[in-house]
């Protein structure tokens, strides 16, 4: 009676060796497993003992020096020398193609190029007609095609058979084990109609796994049934082992980009909320001060209050002037960059904001702050002794931001230091330039002033305060009371606001304030 065979999962539990290491030993020939007709690895009880010995050797930090039984040597089956030569030749081809793949991996940053090369090499080594590498989308519970050869994308539209855990691909992905099907057409449950249309019958699929983390599947197909064997599975797993680290790196980078985007969105939302809360608080304080002025002014009228009333009116005017915009970029940069760098020591940091607006629109200002903060932090990490920043307006009223530091020449082009800053700057319609003088690197940002910014900049403090409360839906009498002015004065402000913003109604003025430019409103 033949000795019972055990699956790789059973061997892993009994020997304490992880499944990924058993797969690696099988692929390299150190501990070869038998294969079932479906392609599953099967082991004998004697091989469990060998796996335990190999595991102890690895844990002790030594090289794998455990003697293998006769007939288990790599590339030799103990029956015929021709078989060993044929296997040695195939191993040489595998190693040659793997080295080519590794070269592609080391010299290209494009995962799609590496995956396409992997599929081509797999077809060359196995003689397959077609092949594909598909990544698993755990959120949508489906696959996405990364690279394919000899097929088209129609096979991705096969409905339920192409969900993440359905069909043969789902079996491979779920169990983390390969499958080998001699003829797909003989399987009653086979439902991938596109493969039927292409006449693809033989099928092998292996999972893309690294450190027990699943990334997708690697498939090959052939028009001829029954042409794939255990050697083809081993070849596919070997190639998968080469490309999976690059897939993992790409996934980590993508996750990092998503986190950065979410952080930026959250920061912008919080900044806008804080700016709006501050504006509303200032407007409320101004209204209360003006009520106090009105209650302490004699019959001469409130236009020229004197004494205590005059002092309170001056405070109200000052608060109103500072409440015109939303984001004080210079103050935020002093707190977020200059002060922190100075406290940390090692760097001398300075900021020159002469002529820069006291406050920017919340939407625009928060976006610009994200850009400048990301680049300033990169400069601070690379500068050796000093960091300086300058904020100014150009002659044509464009926003100019200059960041200067004594960064090393080998740090490269600062325009490439922050992907998120580049993306945000592009959304603002800005450009970035840099110059190198001696040991100093200077980065210059130029952001054009939008038509909306220019129009809003024409308003006086009182007019901007009036515009800010227009969206409340209150009648003019109530708005005038809220602002501490007469209805006639309010009407004068509205007439001036409509003329400066080139709009004809309250709704158009509010739309310009909260959304687009004047052309879009028209």
- Asked whether residue 374 carries a pLDDT value surpassing 50, the answer given is yes
The residue ranking higher by pLDDT, 94 or 200, is 200
pLDDT at position 159, please?
45
Tell me which of 108-117, 251-260, 289-298 is least confident: 289-298
Length of the chain: 522
> Which pLDDT band holds residue 65 (cuts at 50, 70, 90)?
very low
Q: Which two tokens stand for residue 235?
A: 């070849």
In this structure, are residues 333 and 366 in contact, taking their beta carbons and an 8 Å threshold? Answer: no
> Looking at the domain 452-522, which fold is it?
Arc Repressor Mutant, subunit A (1.10.10)
Alpha helices (runs of H) in 60-186, residue ranges in sequence order: 81-107, 111-126, 167-175
- Cβ neighbour number for residue 312 with a 10 Å cutoff: 18
Tell me which of 143-157, 184-198, 290-304, 417-431 is least confident: 290-304
Which residues, 6 or more positions from 224, have their beta carbon under 8 angstroms from its beta carbon? 201, 202
pLDDT at position 289, please?
72
pLDDT at position 390, please?
92
Q: How far apart are CA 325 and CA 360, in angstroms?
A: 5
Q: How far apart are CA 240 and CA 24, in angstroms?
A: 11
Collapse the DSSP code of 207 into the 3-class scheme (helix H, G, I; strand E, B; otherwise coil) and give the result: strand
pLDDT at position 400, please?
92
Ramachandran area for residue 345 (φ above 0: left; ψ -120 to 50: alpha; else beta)? left
> Which pLDDT band holds residue 35 (cuts at 50, 70, 90)?
confident
Q: How far apart are CA 325 and CA 362, in angstroms?
A: 7
> Which pLDDT band holds residue 279 (cuts at 50, 70, 90)?
low
- Asked whether residue 508 carries a pLDDT value surpassing 70, the answer given is yes
Strands 142-149 and 213-222: unpaired
- Asked whether residue 421 carries a pLDDT value surpassing 70, the answer given is yes
Q: How far apart are CA 497 and CA 464, in angstroms?
A: 8
Q: What is the mean pLDDT of residues 67-79?
A: 39
In this structure, are residues 401 and 373 in contact, taking their beta carbons and an 8 Å threshold? Answer: no
The residue ranking higher by pLDDT, 276 or 126, is 126
Q: What is the mean pLDDT of residues 222-250?
A: 85
- 355-366 pLDDT, tens digit each: 888 777 767 777
pLDDT at position 357, please?
80
Which residues, 6 or more positions from 513, have their beta carbon under 8 angstroms from its beta carbon? 456, 467, 468, 470, 471
pTM over 0.85: no
- 51-63 pLDDT, tens digit each: 888 888 766 654 4
> Which pLDDT band holds residue 391 (cuts at 50, 70, 90)?
very high
Q: Does domain 329-449 have CATH number 3.30.565.10?
A: yes
- 331-347 pLDDT, tens digit each: 888 887 888 777 776 78
Tell me which of 143-152, 361-370, 508-517 is least confident: 508-517
Q: Does domain 1-74 have CATH number 1.10.1660.10?
A: yes
In this structure, are residues 452 and 516 in contact, taking their beta carbons and an 8 Å threshold? Answer: yes
Q: What is the mean pLDDT of residues 208-220?
A: 86
In this structure, are residues 57 and 65 in contact, taking their beta carbons and an 8 Å threshold? Answer: yes
Q: What is the mean pLDDT of residues 254-263?
A: 70
- Asked whether residue 245 carries a pLDDT value surpassing 50, the answer given is yes
Q: How far apart are CA 371 and CA 423, in angstroms?
A: 9
3-state helix, strand, coil in the chain (%, to 5): 55, 15, 30
Specify which of 200-214, 408-422, 458-472 reaches the highest per-range mean pLDDT: 200-214
pLDDT at position 518, please?
42
Q: How many CA atoms are closer than 13 Å to the CA of 521, on its beta-carbon side? A: 22
For the CA atoms of 26, 168, 130, 19, what is the dihedral angle to 10 degrees?
-20
In this structure, are residues 205 and 217 in contact, taking their beta carbons and an 8 Å threshold? Answer: yes
- Asked whether residue 90 carries a pLDDT value surpassing 50, the answer given is yes
Collapse the DSSP code of 121 into the 3-class scheme (helix H, G, I; strand E, B; otherwise coil) and give the result: helix
pLDDT at position 407, please?
81
Q: How far apart are CA 390 and CA 126, in angstroms?
A: 62
Domain parsing of the chain, residue ranges:
1-74, 78-254, 329-449, 452-522
Q: What is the mean pLDDT of residues 28-51?
A: 82
Percentage of the residues of the chain whose pLDDT score is greater than 70 = 70
Residue-averaged pLDDT of the chain: 75
pLDDT at position 218, please?
92
- Asked whether residue 269 carries a pLDDT value surpassing 70, the answer given is no
Short-list 405, 411, 418, CA closest to 346: 405
pLDDT at position 273, please?
64
Percentage of the residues of the chain whose pLDDT score is greater than 90 = 3
> Looking at the domain 78-254, which fold is it?
Beta-Lactamase (3.30.450)
């Amino acid at each position: 009676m033949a000795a019972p065979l055990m699956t790789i999962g059973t061997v892993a539990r009994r020997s304490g060796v992880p499944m990924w290491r058993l797969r690696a030993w099988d692929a390299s020939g150190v501990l070869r497993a038998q294969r079932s007709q479906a392609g599953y690895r099967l082991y004998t009880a004697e091989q469990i003992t060998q796996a335990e010995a190999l595991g102890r050797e690895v844990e002790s930090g030594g090289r794998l020096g455990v003697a293998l039984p006769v007939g288990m040597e790599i590339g030799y089956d103990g029956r015929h020398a021709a078989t060993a030569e044929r296997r040695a030749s195939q191993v040489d081809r595998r190693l040659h193609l793997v080295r080519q793949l590794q070269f592609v991996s080391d010299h290209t940053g494009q995962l799609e190029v590496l995956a396409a090369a992997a599929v081509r090499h797999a077809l060359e080594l196995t003689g397959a007609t077609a092949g594909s590498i598909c990544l698993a989308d755990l959120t949508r519970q489906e696959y996405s095609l990364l690279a394919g050869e000899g097929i088209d994308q129609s096979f991705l539209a096969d409905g339920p058979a192409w969900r993440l855990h359905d069909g043969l691909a789902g079996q491979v992905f779920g169990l983390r084990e390969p499958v080998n099907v001699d003829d797909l057409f003989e399987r009653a449950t086979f439902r991938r109609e596109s493969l039927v249309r292409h006449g693809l019958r033989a099928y092998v699929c292996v999972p893309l796994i690294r450190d027990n983390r699943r990334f997708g599947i690697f498939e090959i197909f052939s028009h001829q049934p029954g042409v794939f064997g255990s050697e083809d599975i081993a070849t596919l797993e070997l190639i998968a082992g080469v490309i999976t680290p690059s897939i993992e790196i790409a996934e980590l980078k993508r996750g990092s980009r998503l986190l950065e985007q979410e952080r930026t969105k959250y920061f912008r939302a919080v900044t806008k909320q804080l700016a709006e809360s501050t504006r509303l608080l200032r407007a409320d304080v101004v209204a209360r001060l003006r009520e106090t002025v009105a209650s302490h002014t004699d019959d001469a009228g409130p236009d020229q209050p004197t004494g205590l009333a005059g002092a309170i009116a001056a405070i109200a005017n000052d608060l109103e002037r500072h409440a015109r915009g939303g984001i004080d970029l210079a103050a935020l940069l002093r707190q977020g960059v200059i002060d922190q760098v100075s406290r940390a020591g090692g760097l001398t940091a300075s900021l020159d904001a002469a002529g820069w607006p006291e406050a920017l629109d919340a939407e625009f200002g928060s976006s610009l702050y994200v850009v400048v903060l990301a680049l300033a932090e990169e400069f601070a990490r690379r500068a050796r002794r000093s960091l300086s920043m300058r904020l100014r307006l150009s002659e044509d009223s464009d926003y100019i931001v200059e960041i200067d530091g004594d960064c090393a020449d080998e740090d490269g082009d600062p325009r490439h230091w922050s992907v998120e800053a580049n993306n945000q700057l592009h959304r603002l319609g800005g450009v970035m330039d840099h110059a190198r003088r001696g040991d100093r690197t200077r980065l210059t940002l130029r952001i054009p002033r939008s038509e909306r910014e220019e129009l809003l900049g024409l308003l006086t403090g009182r007019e901007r305060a009036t515009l800010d409360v227009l969206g409340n839906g209150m009648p003019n009498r109530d708005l005038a009371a809220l602002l501490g002015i007469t209805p006639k004065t309010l009407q004068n402000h509205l007439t001036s606001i409509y003329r400066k913003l080139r709009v004809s109604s309250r709704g158009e003025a509010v739309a310009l304030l909260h959304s687009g430019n004047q052309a879009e409103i028209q």
